[in-house]
Amino acid sequence: MLSDITLGQFFPRKSLMHRADPRLKICLTVFSIVLIFVAGNFWALAFSALYIGLGMVLSKIPLKMYLKSLKPILFLVAFTAVLNVFYGTGEPLWQWGFLKVTRNGLLNCAFVSIRIIVLILASSVLTFTTSPTQLTDALERLLRPLSKLRVPVHEFAMIMTIALRFVPLLLEETEKIMSAQKARGADMESGGLIQRIKALIPVLIPLFVSAFRRAYDLATAMESRCYHGGEGRTKMKVLRFCSHDYLIIGSAVLALGVFIALNLIFPPAIAG
């Protein structure tokens, strides 16, 4: 049912990837994604995929979970792959009407598919090994320089925290209201699309009313606990770099070196 929906797929384990500083993990994810997109030939691409694979192995999360995370984007992969096959340039290997398949097209297709898949895997390593609270915390720290430009970084982080806290609560409530309306004879399972959307109105209105009431209560509770914005606020859990974090940074530097070398030594596999 509704409550099965989880936000961010965090799998609590005790692994190097779990212990790593969340700020570092975010940077590392961005770093790997950049690598994938800068890779000009298959060697470099394979190497960056291997680097991300190392992260997957170190996370101690079964491969099955990672494969599951790919499911929702399979269609996108297939779609772009098909497009790329037919958009190649050069001598056609096979032709039917205006559709033609070239060597360049096939290469492009493989390249782009691998890119997307590895991209998703890289972000999965991050979300699988980092709890949502750690993620918001780390984002708040990383984006702190932006607050000098008057970007309300602390407020965004607080909104995220509260949203994460209240999503399960509101889902539970939605289910309750749906049952209550069904008990009064509301029909939510039959009829066309428009009818079904209309059937949702008696669910949404009480849900919104209750959400506003909760918000009012929450504001009272937060204010009476001395909340007055991010100014002068401290944190119980301070993010600190440990020895394994420096080790990870070292690996990233090494990976970058190898990656650049591979990119330069081997000729580019695809044009454009």
64 CB-near residues (< 8 Å, 6+ apart) = none
Parallel, antiparallel or unpaired: strands 92-96 and 99-102: antiparallel
Q: Cα separation of 43 and 158, whole Å?
A: 43
Binding part of the chain for other proteins, among 20-28, 55-63, 79-87, 211-219 by CB under 8 A, reads 211-219
Angle at which helices 243-265 and 42-58 cross, to 10°: 160
Binding characters for other proteins, 232-261, by CB under 8 A (x = yes): xxxxxxx-----------------------
The single residue among 94, 226, 243, 272 that binds other proteins, judged by CB under 8 A, is 226
E strand segments, the chain: 92-96, 99-102
Q: Say if CB 56 and CB 63 are below 8 A apart.
A: yes
Does residue 224 touch other proteins according to CB under 8 A?
yes
Number of residues forming the site for other proteins (CB under 8 A): 29
Does residue 14 touch other proteins according to CB under 8 A?
no
The single residue among 9, 201, 223, 268 that binds other proteins, judged by CB under 8 A, is 223
Does residue 190 touch other proteins according to CB under 8 A?
no
Q: How many residues in the chain?
A: 272
| Amino acid sitting at position 187 | D
Binding part of the chain for other proteins, among 25-33, 73-81, 191-199, 229-237 by CB under 8 A, reads 229-237
Does residue 218 touch other proteins according to CB under 8 A?
yes
Closest CA to 139 of 164, 120, 158: 158
Q: Say if CB 165 and CB 153 are below 8 A apart.
A: no
Does residue 267 touch other proteins according to CB under 8 A?
no
Task: For residue 263, count other CB atoms closer than 10 A to its CB.
Answer: 19
| Amino acid sitting at position 64 | K
Binding characters for other proteins, 155-184, by CB under 8 A (x = yes): ------xx-xx--xx--x------------
Binding characters for other proteins, 109-138, by CB under 8 A (x = yes): -----------------------xx-----
The contact set with other proteins (CB under 8 A) reads 132-133, 161-162, 164-165, 168-169, 172, 213-214, 217-218, 220-228, 232-238
